[in-house]
Amino acid sequence: MSRQPGLISDDTAALVAGARWITVFSGAGMSAESGVATFRDAQTGLWARYDPEALSTPQAWESDPALVWGWYQWRAHLVRVAEPNAGHRALADLSTAGMRSDDGQEAGGGEARAVMVVTQNVDDLHERAGTPVVSHLHGSLFAPRCSACEHPYPRTEPSIPGPETFRIAVPRCQVCDALVRPGIVWFGEALPADAWNRAESAFRASDLILVVGTSGLVYPAASLPERAARADIPIIEINPESSLLTPIATHRIRAGAARALPALVEAITR
Ligand code: OAD
């Protein structure tokens, strides 16, 4: 990997190199270079092409479960055929990058910095790149559950709907026979308490926050970095555009995640 002059300031590199507890707060831009669409980018964003009211609310589910189920199965299929990008992979290296043991060797687990991923993404690309996710704030495409008794639905090979109709038959719960629903947090629903609590703990424990690829528009998720800023925890934003969280960022890297994160890891490894 060649060094990219100017992309990572010395200040930014020093901040990351000195941090021991980093929370990565990721959004859809993290996976954009894996070919997974964001929500709000003009033209390519999902909400530019599909109506969230008709697909991503409890009311949509009530009125047309086959459409909602099929749309999420289609999205799960698109993620299954996508691969983690260089940004996901760089995050997996961040815990040991530039850490040296007493004998000058690259450090092993004992001296690693903690990298805690709190994501709004419902894909599994962080995990597939080797970074466990502390909290999926908005659920997962791969954790369907019963809409009545909440029993997890075992993963099976999905039926893949065509984008013309999306509608496919919704499976039924093996315990109570109610419809199985996507394991996604829809607009108007509360975030899962355990995911929220784990996210809050990670932010509280951190000496640095990396905000990667989010518009910062959706609450309560966006309140987590806002609260960190009020507690004077430094925040590095990685995003090719400005976002609603740009004003609270203490440092900014104006590039896509797949370019910025490997450059950051390289900058602290030299
Ligand atoms: P958005 O689509 O709102 O924002 C995506 C952000 O990623 C924008 O700020 C882009 O500028 C940025 N971006 C685009 N390409 C990028 C790249 N290659 N590298 C880094 N950044 C890039 O997506 P989210 O902020 O994730 O909720 O949206 C938040 C929530 O709204 C989602 O979790 C979803 C959605 O409705 C639920 O599903 C509940």
Pocket test for ligand 1, best of 71, 181, 215 (most atoms within 8 A of CB): 215
User: Residue type at 78?
Assistant: L
* Residue in 26, 33, 38 to alter for ligand 1 test, most ligand atoms within 8 A of Cβ: 38
pLDDT for 257 equals: 98
Using 50 as the pLDDT threshold, list the residues of the chain that sit under it.
Answer: 1-2, 109
Strand runs (DSSP E) across the chain, as ranges? 21-26, 114-119, 133-136, 145-146, 180-181, 208-212, 235-238, 251-253
Ligand 1 atom closest to the Cα of residue 45 is 2
Tokens 């784990």, residue located: 198
Strands 145-146 and 21-26, sheet pairing: unpaired
251 in active site: no
Please state the separation of Cα 248 from the chain's center in Å.
20
Regarding the beta carbon of 213 and ligand 1, being less than 6 Å apart is answered yes
Is there an atom of ligand 1 within 6 Å of 192 CB?
Answer: no
> What atom in ligand 1 is closest to the CA of residue 187?
39
Q: What is residue 51's three-state secondary structure?
A: coil
Catalytic residue among 88, 126, 136, 138: 138
Task: Report which ligand 1 atom has the smallest distance to the Cα of 87.
Answer: 19
Ligand 1 lined by 260 (C-beta under 6 Å): no
Is 27's C-beta closer than 6 angstroms to any atom of ligand 1? yes
- Residue owning the nearest CA to atom 26 of ligand 1: 27
What long-range pairs does 242-249 form, CB within 8 A, spacing at least 24? 243/211, 243/214, 243/215, 243/216, 244/215, 244/216, 244/217, 245/211, 245/214, 245/216, 249/211
pLDDT for 158: 66
> Quick one: DSSP state of residue 109?
G
